[in-house]
Chain A
């Protein structure tokens, strides 16, 4: 459903961050992209919904190449791609409910959005989702009054509110403690299963990736160096991805 062909990106000409990435994401399952910092994982995931413009290549999603799309067409496609961020990226001064409903902004006209006139079914779904992510009763709280784990739950609710066909998550647990990280990963896994949508997650934590992902993609220096079921990830492969071996002890 999502296939990436010969994707390349360089922010500075001659210094590619991604070279020739080829990936196919199936219609279900959790895919984890692991790799050292600065290897282009975030760039790759941001190229998919063109928050970062690819330099070359194709990204085919639901039968359309996203790379050549006009702004208007791109907005239409972005509605189908949910995104969860490392630093949650909630609008701090808005309430939890407003943040969750902002997942519907692609469907609601600005005129209605400014007056907070969202369709009643959207509001009902927002309350339902807040229940699912464990934040019933927080609808009126301001986003900046929440803890990190709670904020990420709001971030996930906002992405799911879009009714996306695919969910992208850029280091969703890197700013959280180990226990909260597992809870957030579990939540993402539950959503992937219950809604039957594929989830693509960037992460640092190899153990967490092995535990939750069906498929792992290992990246090093802007290229894919491993792609397979998480069971096949050996210490030798990890050495190719991250380099060195002392950290594996």
Chain B
């Protein structure tokens, strides 16, 4: 027998099997710990049926309160995105290890890690304690979230650029800021726009939620409606939030179309939305 015939054709999978078994064992243990059982799910389903029954038809009678909450959510999302993008651009930039010395990039990376550590709701609770109830706390909370997300991805995008293009610009005797403007930014601009539109979308969703902890927006109205068992009004609010998120998605696709694919506004209105949607998904996978 030749040595080749005795060699295993694939790598040994013993450890992968052990891992799967351990995962299965943990799932069973966790179900037992948390009292997850078939009976509880069955009784929960009948509760859910009752709850959904009371949600329909949705009740838009208090539409003024609804519109006020939605407007506030939209404002929170827009301001937090603008502020977050403006701050994460320089922070992400100095966090890139290929352009900055370690003593500059490490503090910036710490800021980014700190901003990413907590869920926006936890940050919102902290800001409600600090600046009081209302939209300002929501704006600050979502700004922190934006810095964490865009800053990290932007720094990573800069770390992946081609240094040959940068070298050529340096060789012309360009000062540092011109090297950035001509050698670095053009390579990462399209991805930066992608991160920003994704974060706007994410801020829009989160801005409907921070109200639950008193940080402004439609979330407060939603939470109050839940507690008063006004399920038909809850349904109206949920439908409005879905509409808001969809509008935000269309806006984000438009922005990506203009900045990344170089389309004009006229192109966008000529029914290219379907094609853009497919591209939008691809961009997210790239991110």
Tell me the residues in window 150-188 of chain B with beta carbons closer than 8 Å to chain A beta carbons.
Answer: 162, 164-165, 167-179, 181-183, 186-187
Total interface residues in chain A, CB < 8 Å: 32
Residues of the B chain whose Cβ atoms lie less than 8 Å from the Cβ of A89? 164-165, 167-168
Contact of B173 among A78, A91, A109, A155 (CB under 8 A): A78
Tell me the residues in window 80-109 of chain A with beta carbons closer than 8 Å to chain B beta carbons.
Answer: 80-81, 83, 85, 87, 89-94, 98, 102-106, 108-109
Total interface residues in chain B, CB < 8 Å: 23
Contact of A91 among B175, B177, B183, B190 (CB under 8 A): B183
A91 touches B187 (CB 8 A): yes
Proximity string of chain B (125-168) to chain A, C-beta cutoff 8 Å, 1 when within and 0 when not? 00000000000000000000000000000000000001011011
Chain B: CB-nearest residue to A78? B173
A75 touches B182 (CB 8 A): no
A102 CB, min distance to chain B CBs, angstroms: 5
Kindly state whether residue B60 has any CB partner on chain A within 8 Å.
Answer: no
A90 touches B165 (CB 8 A): yes
Kindly state whether residue A9 has any CB partner on chain B within 8 Å.
Answer: no
Complex Cα spacing A79 to B182, Å: 16
Complex Cα spacing A51 to B176, Å: 14
Pick from B170, B173, B177, B190 the residue with the most CB of A within 10 Å: B173
Residues of the A chain whose Cβ atoms lie less than 8 Å from the Cβ of B187? 91-93
Contact of B169 among A49, A79, A80, A91 (CB under 8 A): A91
Contact of A94 among B174, B175, B178, B182 (CB under 8 A): B182
Complex Cα spacing A94 to B166, Å: 13
Kindly state whether residue A77 has any CB partner on chain B within 8 Å.
Answer: yes
Complex Cα spacing A105 to B172, Å: 7
Complex Cα spacing A51 to B174, Å: 13
Complex Cα spacing A78 to B179, Å: 13
Chain A: CB-nearest residue to B185? A114
A51 touches B173 (CB 8 A): no
Complex Cα spacing A104 to B176, Å: 14
A75 touches B181 (CB 8 A): no
Contacts A85-B168, A89-B167, A92-B165 known; A102 to B174 CB distance under 8 Å?
yes
Contact of A79 among B164, B173, B189, B190 (CB under 8 A): B173
Residues of the B chain whose Cβ atoms lie less than 8 Å from the Cβ of A76? 173
B165 touches A113 (CB 8 A): no
A110 touches B165 (CB 8 A): no
Chain A: CB-nearest residue to B164? A89
Interface residues of A, Cβ cutoff 8 Å to B = 49, 51, 75-81, 83, 85, 87, 89-94, 98, 102-106, 108-110, 113-114, 155, 158, 162
Q: 9 A-B residue contacts at CB 8 Å?
A: A51-B170, A89-B168, A91-B165, A92-B165, A94-B186, A102-B172, A105-B174, A105-B178, A106-B172
